[in-house]
């Protein structure tokens, strides 16, 4: 079966007429050594690793926010999501110059002759179409998302998730059909695309030109250094949104740790959520066998706990803060619910995809999960969720519900 498939994919297709070889289709049209098989393979290997890291960390974030029955996410260590999502965004940003470098090394392949000499080349070219399209869309829309600019008409999160599967599938197919070339490029010094497959005097002449270009043109080390500097510059000017010590030099980061109301950045403001006037009739309802209905004063009279926990946004920025409030587990116990009950937490916000979040058992029973009344030693500012907000270890910021008004057993029920 495998041998028959190899014969089918390797069968030679009829070549087009030589008279059509004009302009970029002529032999030797791209003599630069920057288009060598070796450079294309090595750049592709680095880009492939970056795409794989982006895919796995992005999939992790998706599973946390939309968990299937088999998936659980721990409450400890509290910084884990901060690392995975920070890595996701930082790697995605670094992939932008990497993708441009990769496209530069291989664009002569668009003009290879014949355009598709075998069925395997047809598959390869189709995989490139999907790979370049999906990869470009992922990186551009991801960049637009962290900038909070949405000129497109589709919902970013859904499109980003499914395009990620298309991109990683295209990578897998591309690597599979081009495995021999990739192995050859990684194993030894490659030759420019224009000289591949040429023999005799013409091939020797073109290879001599390429060797001279390697010496007199852009050296390999300079090419690698330029690509590395581009990746390093993008990373250094943005990664400070996650790595706080680099915040001062991360001038392109959309959020800077420590900047914002009460020393913490804000993604969703009270005015945008339309929660700007919380009256004295505010109550927190905790549903259970012993239903609780607590005023703000009732919450303030209960034992207060203080925890140092990060806010980690899906857009890649994160920042540590000191939170004080009532343990969620204590309120669940008082309402007659076990601490490991899966619960939903509802906001005063009247609309939005994240008005309600689910707190899974690992976080519901964590002693560090709070319904916070204070941030960094002062009552919550409206933009941070006054009068009450959820803060739990190792959760995305969009699930740390602000302006909490109700806690109830979730769809999984008690002890789920």
Q: Digits of tens for pLDDT over the chain (416 positions)?
A: 555 545 555 556 666 777 677 777 777 777 776 777 788 888 889 999 999 999 999 999 999 999 998 999 999 999 999 999 999 999 999 999 999 999 888 888 778 777 776 777 777 778 888 888 999 999 999 999 988 888 888 899 999 999 999 999 988 888 887 888 888 878 765 444 444 444 444 455 445 544 544 444 556 778 788 889 999 999 999 999 988 888 888 888 888 888 889 999 998 899 999 998 888 899 999 999 999 999 999 999 999 999 999 999 999 999 999 999 999 999 999 999 987 789 999 999 988 888 999 999 999 999 999 999 999 999 999 999 999 999 999 999 999 999 999 999 976 444 33
Place of tokens 């979040």: 357
Spell out the domain ranges in the chain.
Answer: 8-246, 262-409
Edge-to-edge, what's the strand order for the sheet holding 343-347? 292-294, 284-286, 404-409, 343-347, 356-359
For the domain made up of 262-409, give the CATH fold.
Sulfite Oxidase; Chain A, domain 2 (3.90.420)
Q: Are 116 and 13 in contact (CB under 8 A)?
A: yes
d(CA 39, CA 192): 9
Predicted TM-score (pTM) of this structure: 0.84
Place of tokens 């926010």: 65
């Amino acid at each position: 079966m495998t041998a028959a498939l190899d014969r089918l994919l390797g069968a030679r297709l009829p070549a087009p007429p030589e008279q059509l070889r004009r302009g970029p289709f002529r032999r030797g049209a791209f003599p630069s050594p920057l288009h060598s098989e070796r450079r294309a393979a090595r750049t592709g290997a680095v880009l492939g690793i970056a795409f794989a890291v982006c895919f796995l960390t992005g999939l992790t974030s998706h599973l946390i926010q939309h968990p299937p029955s088999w998936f659980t996410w721990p409450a400890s260590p509290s910084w884990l999501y901060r690392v995975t999502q920070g890595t996701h965004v930082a790697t995605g940003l670094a992939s932008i110059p990497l993708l441009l470098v990769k496209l530069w090394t291989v664009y002569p392949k668009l003009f290879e002759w014949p355009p598709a000499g075998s069925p395997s080349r047809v598959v390869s070219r189709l995989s490139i179409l999907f790979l370049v399209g999906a990869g470009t869309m992922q990186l551009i829309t991801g960049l637009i998302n962290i900038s909070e600019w949405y000129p497109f008409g589709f919902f970013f999160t859904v499109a980003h998730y499914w395009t990620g599967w298309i991109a990683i599938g295209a990578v897998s197919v591309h690597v599979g059909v081009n495995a021999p070339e990739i192995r050859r490029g990684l194993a030894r010094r490659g030759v420019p695309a224009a000289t591949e497959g040429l023999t005799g005097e013409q091939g020797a002449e073109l290879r001599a030109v390429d060797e001279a270009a390697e010496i007199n043109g852009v050296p390999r080390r300079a090419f690698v250094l330029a690509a590395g500097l581009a990746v390093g510059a993008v990373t250094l000017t943005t990664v400070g949104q996650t790595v706080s010590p680099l915040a001062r030099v991360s001038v392109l980061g959309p959020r800077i740790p420590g900047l914002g109301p009460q020393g913490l950045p804000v993604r969703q403001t009270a005015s945008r959520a339309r929660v700007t006037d919380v009256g004295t009739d505010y109550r927190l309802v905790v549903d259970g066998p012993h239903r609780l209905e607590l005023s703000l004063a009732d919450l303030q009279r209960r034992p207060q706990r203080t925890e140092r926990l990060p806010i980690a946004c899906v857009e890649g920025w994160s920042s540590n803060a000191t939170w004080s409030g009532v343990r969620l587990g204590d309120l669940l116990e008082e309402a007659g619910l076990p601490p490991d009950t899966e619960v939903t937490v509802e906001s005063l916000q009247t609309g939005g995809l994240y008005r309600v979040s689910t707190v899974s058992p690992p976080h519901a029973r964590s002693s560090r999960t709070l319904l916070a009344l204070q941030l960094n030693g002062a009552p919550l500012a409206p933009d941070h969720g006054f009068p009450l907000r959820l803060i739990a270890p190792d959760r995305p910021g969009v699930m740390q519900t602000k302006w909490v008004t109700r806690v109830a057993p979730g769809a999984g029920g008690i002890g789920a």
